[in-house]
Chain A
Amino acid sequence: MAVVHFDAVQKIYPNGFEAVKPASFHIEDGEFVVLVGPSGCGKSTMLRMIAGLEDISDGVLQIGGRVVNDIDPADRDIAMVFQNYALYPHMSVRNNIGYGLKNRAVPRDVIAAKVEEAAKMLNLSDYLDRKPSQLSGGQRQRVAMGRAIVRDPALFLFDEPLSNLDAKLRNQMRIEIKALQRRLGVTSVYVTHDQVEAMTMADRIIVMNGGVIEQIGTPAEIYKTPASTFVASFMGAPPMNLLQVTREGAGLRLADQVLNIAAADIDETVTLGIRPEDIVPDPNGSLSIHVDIIEELGAHRLLHGRLEEQSITVHVPKDHDVTTGMSRFSMPLNAVSLFDAKSGRRLS
């Protein structure tokens, strides 16, 4: 188990592309941190720098108090699980799991015992003599997990381990991985582009975009107080509504109403963010929304419509009657987030 410390860590690929802009943060011992962001934003690059598979261009990376910039992946005391499992196709499950120990000259009987133990933990005991090609996707990913567990590493790294599985299995594995990490208490960094995975698994989330860390925080913080319009629209499904508002007197004009929000130090135009579930149907409400489409989701409904010319989504409970056409809604002002319209950064 270990803390991980990033100090202005940067990655510039040999072709000159800056995949990760200087990043500084800290991961606590035993913490489960999820790196999330759209594809191509530099998540894997970040993870591969922690693993030692990619050189660190600049900055200092410490794992467990030790500077690891120039340390070989095998000596960093880490284990990694890959998207495509990366199992050795010619080796049995048993040998796949034990290969790393064998290379470390661990005695054979110790390897055998550890492999059995890991297999038991992952429900793989019956498959130890099979080849990876004879396993299902979920089982393969479990083998990859087993390979990570037997090494007793200080740090687990996951690079989109579930994205090749079908939705049902993904939900199940998500819970399994989280439970396993809890039980073993090993510090983990988990990369995904799926915000649901990030929200459900993380102790803390790091949201990345274009090589830059947009925000670091607990899932609740990230959801409630997104640091930028990017985070607001990336995290949460459906995403936060982002509406253009203009300053008017001491307040902000949204469609045909003026919101009573102190806006003294704000530019002319501001982006207002509001979560779909924070907008509530209210016959006396001040928001007139034209509902175009009702999306039935069982437990609740999503209304897609327009507030004047701006599109907007509202989340309503299942027992609430709705029809398409004009309806009135209201929103509590304390649920509103304000962002600078130009930079997209959160205001206050």
Chain B
Amino acid sequence: MTATQKPRKRIRFSTVMDHIVLTLGALFMLVPMLMVFQLSTVPDAEIIQRGPSLNIGDQLDDNFVKAMFEASGFSGENTGVSMLINSFILGIGFAVGKIILGMMAAYAIVYFRLRFATLAFWAIFTTLLLPLEVRILPSYEIVQSLGMLNTYQGLIIPLIASATATFFFRQFFLSVPEELVAAARIDGAGPVKFFIDILVPLSRTMIAAMFIIMFVYGWNQYLWPTMITTEEDMYTLVRGIKQIIQVFEGTNLPEYGRGNLLALIAVIPPVLIVVFFQSWFVKGLTESDK
């Protein structure tokens, strides 16, 4: 009887190739991380002497305590924890600010009869050509003259104007059926109610996707925090790690183990956010549930 025969699984060449490529890609990404991990478990002297090895040392908990709770620098105020908090404030403030601003700009462009709506949109769009690096001196000048150096506002506000978010939300709003807008108008939803009651909930997958991208982007900011924060209690992780490894005090070695561990810790929140929001992210970019 053929019915009892199990269909034979044929392993196809292309499937094997797919897996090889994926595995190699994963290794390519993971090996440096494992190396950093290994380096954060051995004494600093050994790193200088032998470099990376396969030897897992016993310094991990020591380094963890140092990385998280021991202050570095002069003021004694930038522990790993405080830098972590600063990074979170920057990442979340950056992402939330960009989303709010981008959504509101897109809302105005799509739904209101502005005289120069299209022009305004393209003007916003061309700012993609002017990233922070290009305008860093004038931006610094403005923040400085507003007295916002070493403040969270100074860290976040100059970065949140976002052509990317405006663009994505505009495209999304354009795809919301016109009938839905009409129905809401007849139901007596004014501009504010329509935005809050209808558009924001409809955009939630889009918002989640934006949040991930922007959070990671904000978290990884280096140049701007370096310029704006000179007081150590305002340091973010990405900026602080570098300082740990730079510090030479007399004959002391740079604290490689501690720096490496902090680098690993710095990777974790973005990874968690991506893992947590992943399904939303994919939905937001592909689904059209309107």
Q: Do the beta carbons of A99 and B187 come within 8 Å of each other?
A: yes
The answer to whether A84 and B188 touch (CB under 8 A), given A89-B290, A103-B193, is no
The stretch from A73-81, A180-188, A337-345 touching chain B is A73-81
Interface residue? A193 (CB, 8 A): no
Q: Digitize A117-134: 1 where CB-to-B-CB distance is under 8 Å, 0 elsewhere.
A: 000000000000000010
Query: Per a CB cutoff under 8 Å, which of B185, B201, B289 touches A73?
Result: B185
Q: Do the beta carbons of A83 and B179 come within 8 Å of each other?
A: yes
If A74-B185, A84-B179, A88-B183 are given as contacts, then 15 extra A-B residue pairs at C-beta distance below 8 Å, sorted by A number, are: A52-B185, A53-B185, A72-B185, A73-B186, A74-B189, A80-B186, A82-B179, A82-B183, A86-B182, A86-B183, A88-B197, A89-B290, A90-B204, A103-B187, A147-B183
Residue numbers in A under 8 Å from B185 (CB-CB) = 52-53, 72-74
Interface residue? A104 (CB, 8 A): yes
The answer to whether A89 and B182 touch (CB under 8 A), given A100-B187, A103-B187, is no
Q: Do the beta carbons of A78 and B186 come within 8 Å of each other?
A: yes
Total number of A residues with any Cβ neighbor in B under 8 Å: 24
Q: Do the beta carbons of A100 and B289 come within 8 Å of each other?
A: no
Interface residue? A51 (CB, 8 A): yes
CB distance from B185 to the nearest CB of A (A): 5
Q: Do the beta carbons of A104 and B188 come within 8 Å of each other?
A: yes
Considering the chains assembled together, what is the distance between the CA atoms of A72 and B182 in angstroms? 12
Chain A CB count within 10 A is highest, among B182, B187, B189, B198, for B187
Q: Do the beta carbons of A74 and B179 come within 8 Å of each other?
A: no
Q: Do the beta carbons of B187 and A89 come within 8 Å of each other?
A: no
CB distance from B173 to the nearest CB of A (A): 15
The answer to whether A103 and B183 touch (CB under 8 A), given A86-B177, A89-B202, is no
Q: Do the beta carbons of A51 and B186 come within 8 Å of each other?
A: yes
Query: Which residues of B approach A to under 8 Å, CB–CB?
Result: 177, 179-180, 182-189, 193, 197-198, 201-202, 204, 289-290
Residue numbers in B under 8 Å from A79 (CB-CB) = 186
Closest residue on chain A to residue B182 by CB atoms: A53
Query: Per a CB cutoff under 8 Å, which of A52, A74, A88 touches B180?
Result: A88
Q: Do the beta carbons of B189 and A86 come within 8 Å of each other?
A: no
Closest residue on chain B to residue A76 by CB atoms: B186
CB distance from B135 to the nearest CB of A (A): 38
Q: Do the beta carbons of A89 and B289 come within 8 Å of each other?
A: yes
Q: Do the beta carbons of B179 and A86 come within 8 Å of each other?
A: yes
Q: Do the beta carbons of B182 and A147 come within 8 Å of each other?
A: no
Residue numbers in B under 8 Å from A103 (CB-CB) = 187-189, 193
Considering the chains assembled together, what is the distance between the CA atoms of A84 and B179 in angstroms? 8
Q: Do the beta carbons of B188 and A100 come within 8 Å of each other?
A: yes
CB distance from B166 to the nearest CB of A (A): 23
The answer to whether A51 and B188 touch (CB under 8 A), given A89-B202, A89-B289, A133-B289, is no
Considering the chains assembled together, what is the distance between the CA atoms of A147 and B201 in angstroms? 20
Q: Do the beta carbons of B198 and A88 come within 8 Å of each other?
A: yes
Chain A CB count within 10 A is highest, among B177, B179, B185, B188, for B188
Considering the chains assembled together, what is the distance between the CA atoms of A234 and B138 in angstroms? 69
Considering the chains assembled together, what is the distance between the CA atoms of A147 and B180 in angstroms? 13
Residue numbers in A under 8 Å from B193 (CB-CB) = 103
Q: Do the beta carbons of A80 and B182 come within 8 Å of each other?
A: yes
Q: Do the beta carbons of A84 and B177 come within 8 Å of each other?
A: yes
The answer to whether A147 and B187 touch (CB under 8 A), given A86-B177, A86-B179, is yes
Chain A CB count within 10 A is highest, among B183, B188, B201, B202, for B183
A-B contacts, 29 of them at CB < 8 A, read A51-B186, A53-B185, A72-B185, A73-B182, A73-B185, A74-B186, A74-B188, A78-B186, A80-B182, A80-B183, A82-B183, A83-B179, A84-B179, A86-B180, A86-B182, A88-B180, A88-B183, A88-B184, A89-B289, A90-B201, A90-B204, A99-B187, A99-B189, A100-B188, A103-B188, A103-B193, A104-B188, A147-B183, A147-B187
Considering the chains assembled together, what is the distance between the CA atoms of A72 and B188 in angstroms? 9
Residue numbers in B under 8 Å from A74 (CB-CB) = 185-189
Considering the chains assembled together, what is the distance between the CA atoms of A80 and B179 in angstroms? 10
CB distance from A75 to the nearest CB of B (A): 8
CB distance from A111 to the nearest CB of B (A): 13
Considering the chains assembled together, what is the distance between the CA atoms of A80 and B188 in angstroms? 12
Considering the chains assembled together, what is the distance between the CA atoms of A99 and B186 in angstroms? 11
